[in-house]
Amino acid sequence: MNNPSELLIGLSADELEALADGLLAPTAQARLDDLLARRKEKSLPAHEEAELESLLQKTDQLTILKTRARYTLSQAKAEATGT
């Protein structure tokens, strides 16, 4: 990820660190864990399968945001140290 367009502009270092350390909300994580465990045992009804896919998509988006926050922090650090 060496693309300047991936930088998160306009956020403080503290805000970027908070994003980089972010987690899925506890209730959403618990629901995700439950749905995954139940799907492992048997098929889920269509509405729960859709809910699971939505939660997995949110998890993917959170991972991307966290990665971009870490990348922005590393670029700011490299710029500050001249490396």
List, for residues 40-67, the tens digit of each pLDDT value. Answer: 999 999 999 999 999 999 999 999 999 9
How is the chain split into domains, by residue range? 11-81
User: 45-50 long-range contacts, Cβ below 8 Å, gap at least 24?
Assistant: none
The predicted-structure confidence for 24-37, as pLDDT tens digits, reads as follows 999 999 999 999 99
Residues 6+ apart with CB under 8 A from 83: none
What's the angle, vertex CA 80, arms to CA 75 and CA 82, rounded to 5?
A: 90
